[in-house]
């Protein structure tokens, strides 16, 4: 790992025209060497035009487009495939997570102490107070995931997952939508990756402000936990 690694930040975006530029500018404001890859998942609100302008101005390094909406997991897989950095991070386009946390999150990987780092919303970082039942649902999903992976994570559904690029690129990821979160966790556990968890700030959105995840995604996550942990793919992708 070089002393100043290149961090590839993948920004999946679906109808985030109002926030995507602010996210890109916040990313450019952190003291890291970055490659920003935005993936427009068939937005209908002008996100594509905003990303074209950001790419022309150098705020975004690469823009990928899906002709039809395929989901967050599919967008991330597209970004992972073309990323050239030493470490790959996920950054949602909705301003819920602040890129100012990324320099601290990258440190355990740079120092060779971790293969992946999760930014937890439940380890004491500042956060906006919102929905009780979302917290309960996340706790249940995290608990079930931990049962199968034998990890002690506090926030399996966090957006902030940073992984060594050489490891991430060989994981057999298949989920198209929000199942990505539990799938990548299962695959990292199955590959015996060293995972760290660190607190991050969190400014959650309400549904009126554009939040997209619902209780149906929580129910689907339970199915995905069983699927990805009980039926891992074959091959030599494990460490």
Mean predicted confidence (pLDDT) in 35-57: 97
pLDDT at position 41, please? 97
| pLDDT value at 206 more than 90 | no
Q: Is 237 a member of any domain?
A: no
Question: What is the tally of structural domains in the chain?
Answer: 1
Mean predicted confidence (pLDDT) in 182-196: 97
Contact 227, 180 (CB under 8 A): no
Residue 213: pLDDT band (50, 70, 90) is low
| Top-confidence residue, 139 or 44 | 44
Q: Is 236 a member of any domain?
A: no
Please give the model's pTM, rounded to 2 decimal places: 0.91
| pLDDT value at 3 more than 70 | yes
| pLDDT value at 125 more than 70 | no
Contact 49, 15 (CB under 8 A): no
Residue 126: pLDDT band (50, 70, 90) is low
Q: Is 239 a member of any domain?
A: no
- 56: domain CATH number? 3.90.550.10
| pLDDT value at 211 more than 60 | no
Contact 71, 176 (CB under 8 A): yes
The sign of the CA dihedral 112, 119, 169, 37 is negative
Q: Is 128 a member of any domain?
A: yes
Q: Is 1 a member of any domain?
A: no
Cα-based distances in Å from 125 to 23, 92, 170, 217: 20, 18, 32, 25
**Cα 107 from Cα 117, distance rounded (Å):** 9
Q: Model confidence over 140-165: pLDDT tens digits? A: 999 999 999 999 999 999 999 999 99
Mean predicted confidence (pLDDT) in 58-83: 97
Q: Is 134 a member of any domain?
A: yes
**Cα 239 from Cα 230, distance rounded (Å):** 19
| pLDDT value at 20 more than 70 | yes
Contact 120, 142 (CB under 8 A): no
| pLDDT value at 130 more than 50 | yes
pLDDT at position 207, please? 46
Q: Model confidence over 194-203: pLDDT tens digits? A: 999 999 998 8
| pLDDT value at 104 more than 90 | yes
Dmax (CA) of the chain: 46
| pLDDT value at 55 more than 50 | yes
Q: CB-hemisphere CA count at 13 Å for 94?
A: 21
| pLDDT value at 30 more than 70 | yes
**Cα 223 from Cα 186, distance rounded (Å):** 13
Token pair in block for residue 166: 């050489």
CA-nearest of 35, 17, 2, 32 to 103 is 32
**Cα 197 from Cα 143, distance rounded (Å):** 15
Q: Is 54 a member of any domain?
A: yes
Mean predicted confidence (pLDDT) in 14-36: 97
| pLDDT value at 12 more than 90 | yes
Name the percent of the chain lying above pLDDT 90: 74
User: 113: domain range?
Assistant: 6-230
Residue 234: pLDDT band (50, 70, 90) is confident
Chain-wide mean pLDDT for the chain? 91
Q: What's the chain look like in SS3?
A: CCCCCEEEEEEEECCCCCCHHHHHHHHHCCCCEEEEEEEECCCCCCHHHHHHHHHHCCCCCEEEECCCCCCHHHHHHHHHHHCCCCEEEECCCCCCCCHHHHHHHHHHHHCCCCCEEEEECCCCCCECCCCHHHHHHHHHHHHHHHHHHCCCCCCCCCCCEEEEHHHHCCCCCCCCCCCHHHHHHHHHHHCCCCEEEEECCECCCCCCCCCCCCHHHHHHHHHHHHHHHHCCCCCCCCC
Q: Is 120 a member of any domain?
A: yes
């Amino acid at each position: 790992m070089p002393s100043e690694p290149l961090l590839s930040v993948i920004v999946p975006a679906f109808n985030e025209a109002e926030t995507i530029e602010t996210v890109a500018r916040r990313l450019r404001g952190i003291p890291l060497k970055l490659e920003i890859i935005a993936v427009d998942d068939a937005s209908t609100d002008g996100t594509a035009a905003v990303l074209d302008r950001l790419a022309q101005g150098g705020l975004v390094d690469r823009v990928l487009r899906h002709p039809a909406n395929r989901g967050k997991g599919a967008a991330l897989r597209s970004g992972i495939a073309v990323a050239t950095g030493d470490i790959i991070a996920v950054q949602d386009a909705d301003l819920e997570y602040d890129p100012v946390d990324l320099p601290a999150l990258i440190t355990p990987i740079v120092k060779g102490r971790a293969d992946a780092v999760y930014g937890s919303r439940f380890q004491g970082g500042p956060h906006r107070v919102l929905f009780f039942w979302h917290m309960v649902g996340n706790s249940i999903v995290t608990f079930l995931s931990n049962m199968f992976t034998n990890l002690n994570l506090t926030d399996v559904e966090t957006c902030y997952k940073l992984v060594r690029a050489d490891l991430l690129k060989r994981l057999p990821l298949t989920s198209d939508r929000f199942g990505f979160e539990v799938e990548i966790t299962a695959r990292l556990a199955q590959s015996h990756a060293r995972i760290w968890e660190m607190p991050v700030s969190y400014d959650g959105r309400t549904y009126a402000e554009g939040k997209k995840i619902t209780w149906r995604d929580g129910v689907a996550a339970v199915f995905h936990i069983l699927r990805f942990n009980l039926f891992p793919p074959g091959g030599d992708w494990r460490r």
